[in-house]
Amino acid sequence: MIVEALLANAAILLGMAIILWVVAVQIDDVSFVDAYWGGGMALMAFVSWLRLYEPGPLATLLMAMAVIWGLRLCLHLMLRWRREGEDKRYARILAKDRAKGRFALAALTKVFLGQSVLLFIVSSPAQYGILEANWMVPISGLALIGLALWTVGILFEWVGDWQLARFKANPANAGKVMDRGLWRYTRHPNYFGDACVWWGIWIAAASAGWWVAAATVIGPLFLTFTLTRWSGGPLLERGMKSSRPGYDDYKARTSAFFPLPPKKSSG
């Protein structure tokens, strides 16, 4: 049953990716795929929960954790895309393909299908945990530990995004580096929050059985890797040096991921 349910979830995700890809080709912009990342994970958790004849307390908790996180992120990123337009990261990624008339194919293979595979893997703790947590599985102490970590992550994301939005809304801050609030202690409080959320969901899902933890640990591991080493912080920071003159100093004194007190200036 679980394998069939996961395959059905994958089919739903593929259908969504195709539909959104058609939209992206029509408007010549794939940037809204970031909103699909959160929304797709929320959908995977919700449809997994719907498959249970009688969802238990743990299944409902896991579904709520994934849906609350995913819908918040989806709305936040969709509004940002509507406000700011095409994301420079995707413009750089697809620049050569767009110049050679291969935008549609590249958007499908490099963006939507790739995002769908990664989305499915990262959300696997929620999907598998929900499907294993029938009505007999209670909310254990381990699940509460996961919920506590999830709460830390949600707060870092919400507060960090709110602080950054207020900073950008002030015209006097144009071209300046955001180094206040949570951003004083980590260069990416929202990414740190993402990692905490999905490690929290994984811990909570593990209370459904050790096999769930073993089968899905690749999800939070890969998310942490991509946020810290691949398409998260590193890709975002690549263009910051030229657009933010003080970014090198900020980078030297501020932790890249884990919140830490800022380093004292060597000067």
66-124: per-residue pLDDT in tens?
Answer: 999 999 999 999 999 999 888 888 888 899 999 999 999 999 999 999 999 999 999 99
118 neighbors 226 (Cβ within 8 angstroms): yes
Separation of alpha carbons 74 and 39, rounded Å: 5
Quote the pLDDT of residue 239: 63
Cα separation, 117 vs 112, whole angstroms: 9
Angular region, 181: left φ>0, alpha ψ -120 to 50, beta rest: left
Q: pLDDT, tens digit, for every residue of 6-51?
A: 999 999 999 999 999 999 999 999 999 999 999 999 999 999 999 9
> Which range in 40-49, 125-134, 253-262 is most confidently predicted, on average pLDDT?
40-49
pLDDT tens profile 202-225: 999 999 999 999 999 999 999 999
Query: How far, CA to CA in Å, does 106 sit from each of 103, 109, 172?
Result: 5, 5, 38
pLDDT in tens, 148-207: 999 999 999 999 999 999 999 999 988 888 999 999 999 999 999 999 999 999 999 999
Identify the pLDDT of residue 67: 98
Residue 20's nearest CA partner among 8, 32, 12 is 32
Query: Which pLDDT band holds residue 242 (cuts at 50, 70, 90)?
Result: low
The sign of the torsion formed by the CA atoms of 225, 92, 178, 149 equals: negative
Distances (CA, A) of 249 to 127, 177, 267: 42, 10, 11
